[in-house]
Amino acid sequence: MTPRSPAPRSPQLALDELGTPLREVSFVVLDLETTGGSHQRDAITEVGAVKVRGGERLGELATLVDPGVRVPADVTRLTGITNAMLGGAPPIGAVLPSVLDFLSGAVLVAHNAPFDSGFLRAACARSERAWPAPPVLCTARLARAVLPRTECPSMRLGALAAHFGCTTTPDHRALTDARATVEVLHHLLERVGNLGIQSLEELLQLVKDRAPHRPTATQRRRRHLANDVPSAPGVYLFRDANGEVLYAGTSGDLQRRVRSYFTAGERRRRVRDMLAQAERVDTVVCAHALEASVRELRLIAAHRPRYNRRSRNPGRAWWVAPTDEAFPRLSVVATPRDGALGPFGSQRAASEVLDAALEAVPLRRCTVRIPRRAPSATPCALHELGRCAAPCAGLQQVEEYAPAVGAWQDLVDGRDDTPLRALAADVEARAADGRYEAAARLRDRLAALASGVDRAGTLAGLAALEEVVGARPDGRGGWELAVVRYGRLAAAGNAPRGVRPMPVVEALREGAQTVLPDPGPLRGAPAEEVRLLYRWLTGGGTRLVHSTPEWAEPAHGGGAWRNWAEQARQAAQRTGDHAPDEPR
C-alpha cells in the first residue's frame, strides 16, 4: 500500500453543529473494486481515495487488497485486476487502519456511495473494528438532484465525466475512478452554489431529499447577520429594527447555530417569518452549556419573545396549597407559598394531584369558608358517607381537624409517607376484591401524588441551600464550575486543563451574585431553573465541592411509592389481578 502526500488531520465533523461552510469541509473521495456486487458475499480487491478541501488536493491513497478468494473472470475482464496481481497484496485487515485514518474527520464521497460504504462497513465488522460512521455523500444522487435529465440523461460516472469534460477518464480502477469522481464533485458543487447552498448541512439535505431546496430570498439577504457571531457557547437573540427580541436560543457554538438559520435546511415557517423581521443578532457568551441554558430561561422570561413557543407562559407553574383559614382546604394556586406542593406544569395536573391528595389525607372537600365557630347546619352527603366530619355543622372543632392539616404538611415535607402507604393498601384491597378498574384508577392517582411529592422534595431541598458549588468534567481535562444559591445560578466559570480548580472556585464564590430568598418551597426561584440546576448537579459526573448547609433530601419522599405504582401497573398488565409488595 502506498499512501501519497499524507494529508493533515482535521477535526471530526459534528453534524449537530449545523451550517459548516463547504470551503472548510474535507472530502475523501473513495472508490473500491471488488469481486462482486454483494458486500455480504464478496470482498474488496482495490482501494483508491483522494482527499480534497476547498478545491485543493491534500493527498491520495491507493492499494490492491488480497480478497482471500479468486477473482471471477468477468470481473477481471472489467477491471483488469488478475489473481496474479493480488498474490502479494495485503489483506483487508491490514489495509483498514490506513483507510480509516485517511477518512478521519472527513466526509466520505463516492459514486453510488451505498455500495462503497457498505463494503467498508462489512470489512470493519469482519475485522472487529468500529465503523466510524462518517457523513456520506453520493455523487450519483447529487447529480440527480442538480442536473436535469434533458442536460445529462445518464448519471453513470463515465457519462458525467464526459459531460463535464473531466481530464480523467474512469477505467474501473480504484484510484483513477476516485480522481474522476473528484472532478465530477467539484463541477456539481459549482452547480449547488447557484442554488444558494453554501454549507455541508444543506448539501447533505439536498441529496437526502433528491430535490433542490433553496434558501428563501429573505434568508440570503439576512446571512450577514451571522458574520460577527462568535464561535463560543452562549445565548443568541434575534432582534427587529426597534430592538425587540423576536427569538432567543442557546448553543454550544453560537456561530454555527446562527448560521444554520440562513440555510436551506431551515424550513420552519415560523422561523422564516421571524427572519423576515430580524435586523440584528445579539449574543451572550457563557462559560458553559449550563450557564447558557439558565440565561436563556431568564431572557425568555424577561422579554417573552413572540417566536419562542415557551414564552407564552414563561415560568408559569401551578401548586397545590392549603388555604389560610380555621379549617384549611386544598386549592390550586399560581403563586407558591409555604406548605404548597409543586410545581406542576399545568393547572389540570395540579388538580389531579389535589384529587389524589384528598383520597390520602382527610381534609374537607367543600369550598365554602368555615369560621372557627361554625354555626349549626345540616351536614352534606359526604358526612353521611363517612368522608367528612362536618366542621361546617359544628360537629368537628379546629383542634380535631388539625391532625389532617399536619398529615398533609408531613407528606409534603417528606417526614411521613403514611398517606401514600394507606393508598397503596387500598389499591391492593380493591384488586383483591376483583375491582380492578377501581384499583387502577386509585393506583394512577397514587402515582401522580407520589411523583408530585418526590419532585417537590428534591427541588425544595436544593432551593433551601444557601450555597452549593458543583464541578463537572468538561471532557478536555478541565472542569465546568457553577455556584448555586437558593435555587438560582449565582456564578459560572471554567478551570481548563492544567489550571488548579480550587482557586477558581474561591474566586467564583467571592464574586457570585447575592441571592435573597423569598417565601415558598423554592425560595422564589423559577421552577424551570431549579429543575435545570438539579439535573446538572446530580448527573453527568458532577462533583459537589461545597454545600451550606449540607444537602439532604426527604427521608420519606414519594419516589419509592411512585416506583411501586409503576410496578403495580406493569403487574396488572401481565396478570390483571395483583400488585407488587410494598416498599419497605
38-62 pLDDT tens trace: 888 889 999 999 999 988 999 999 9
CB 50 within 8 Å of CB 29: yes
In angstroms, the CA 53 to CA 252 distance is 25
pLDDT at 393 over 50: yes
State the pLDDT at residue 214. 64
Residue 541 grid cell:
459526573
| pLDDT-based confidence at residue 235 (cuts at 50, 70, 90) | very high
As a CATH number, domain 22-209 is 3.30.420.10
488-519 pLDDT tens trace: 999 999 999 999 999 999 999 999 999 999 98
Residue 191 grid cell:
452547480
State the pLDDT at residue 11. 37
Highest mean pLDDT of the ranges 241-255, 480-494, 567-581: 480-494
| pLDDT-based confidence at residue 63 (cuts at 50, 70, 90) | very high
In angstroms, the CA 490 to CA 287 distance is 13
CA distances from 303 to 300, 315, 407, 533 (A): 5, 12, 41, 22
State the pLDDT at residue 396. 80
Predicted structure pTM score: 0.64
pLDDT at 418 over 80: yes
434-485 pLDDT tens trace: 888 888 888 888 888 888 888 889 999 999 999 999 999 998 999 999 999 9
What are 49's strand-pairing partners?
30, 61
The residue type of 17 is: E
In the sheet that holds 330-333, the strands lie side by side as 330-333, 318-322, 341-344
Question: Looking at residues 67-96, what average pLDDT do you find?
Answer: 92
CB 454 within 8 Å of CB 559: yes
| pLDDT-based confidence at residue 540 (cuts at 50, 70, 90) | confident
Provide the Cα torsion 555, 559, 561, 565; round to 10°: 180
CA neighbor of 25 nearest in space, from 51, 49, 53, 57: 53
Q: State whether CATH 3.40.50.1240 applies to domain 217-312.
A: no
- Alpha carbon 56 to its chain centroid, in Å, reads 36
| pLDDT-based confidence at residue 274 (cuts at 50, 70, 90) | very high
> Strand runs (DSSP E) across 9-98, as ranges?
26-34, 44-53, 56-64
| pLDDT-based confidence at residue 582 (cuts at 50, 70, 90) | low
Length of the chain, please? 584
Highest mean pLDDT of the ranges 218-222, 362-366, 367-371, 522-526: 522-526
For the chain, domain boundaries = 22-209, 217-312, 315-402, 466-548
What are 280's strand-pairing partners?
239
State the pLDDT at residue 562. 81
The residue type of 27 is: F
